[in-house]
Amino acid sequence: MPRIAYVNGAYVDHRDAVVHVEDRGYQFADGVYEVIHLFRHRLIDEEPHLDRLDRSLRELDMAWPMGRSALRIAMREVVRQNRYATGLLYIQVTRGVAPRDHKFPRNGRSSVVMTVRPVPEYPDEMRDNGVDVITIEDMRWTRRDIKSISLLPNVLGKQAAAAAGAYEAWMYDTDGFITEGTSSNAWIITGDGTLLTRPASHDILRGITRQEIIKLAEELDIPFEERKFTREETYAAREAFLSNSSHFVTPVTKIDDRVIANGEPGSLSTALHARYVEFMSDYPKFS
């Protein structure tokens, strides 16, 4: 069964899925993206992801490549043609193909590509053992709320984590406050049992998983505060975890070689992970 990609209206063999060399995404990283988890035939939080795509496009004065409902139909079709039960749907919209010139092209037409990648089910050992995180300086621009395809600092950060044998790098701002991970949001639970994550300003991406976790924490009666926390506070945390569409709620048990609490995933992180999996399992299957 060949993998199928979607490129500007055509469903093509993944190996033949190409864009023009003068696509502005390729030359200027002038584009935005979304990653949606396909969980056992469910497109998790499809509408909030499309809302965020809409916001990213508007913030950059970039046109939708097609109407929202037409995109939704194409998303379903590319997922259907790939026949995976579980995977990641990647959607990228750029300002399209035009002779290289920094200014927006006149009468430009946005490009859209979509791919579907099968991924294994969430590995239990990640939930049971947690992952290691390092901290690094946040080198990104000041509009991290826009899900831009310009990811060089994120790429370098993730590579630094991998080189250190860690799973993720949490970035800190010039005042020493954690912003987020290179591809995830960052959370801690303080000594008095309060769940903290950084407020959703221009400093971080407003994670769709983050939004869901806030609702689930309320349901589970976990005290919650949106406030900044420092690197030092993470070392002293009772629990820590990270969140994103591909790895839900993943406990963090070590930060910069400091073991968090007793080195085991904490009870609230584990409870939130379980509740999030339940939320996904109850999500309607797409048709």
C-alpha to C-alpha distance for 256 and 243, rounded to whole angstroms: 19
Site string for ligand PDD, 131-150 (x = CB under 6 A): --------------------
Q: Is 147 a catalytic residue?
A: yes
Give the Cβ contact number of residue 99 at 10 Å.
Answer: 6
> Among residue numbers 11 through 30, which ones bind ligand PDD (CB under 6 A)?
none
Residue 171's alpha-carbon distances to 23, 178, 182, in angstroms, are 30, 6, 7
- Using the rule CB under 6 A, is 238 a contact of ligand PDD? no
Residue 263's alpha-carbon distances to 124, 238, 240, 271, 286, in angstroms, are 17, 10, 10, 17, 39
C-alpha to C-alpha distance for 131 and 167, rounded to whole angstroms: 6
Is beta strand 111-118 parallel, antiparallel or unpaired with respect to 87-94?
A: antiparallel
Of the ranges 5-13, 94-102, 180-188, 260-268, which one interacts with ligand PDD (CB under 6 A)? 180-188
Output the six-digit token pair for 19: 């864009």
- Using the rule CB under 6 A, is 197 a contact of ligand PDD? no
Q: Could you say which of 78, 208, 252, 272 contacts ligand PDD (CB under 6 A)?
A: 208
Bridge partners (DSSP) of residue 251 are 241
Site string for ligand PDD, 29-48 (x = CB under 6 A): ------x-------------
- Using the rule CB under 6 A, is 244 a contact of ligand PDD? yes
- Using the rule CB under 6 A, is 209 a contact of ligand PDD? yes
From the list 103, 147, 158, 254, the catalytic residue is: 147
Output 38 or 97, the one with its CB closest to ligand PDD: 38
Binding residues for ligand PDD (CB under 6 A) = 35, 180, 183-185, 205, 207-210, 243-246
Cite the active site residues.
147
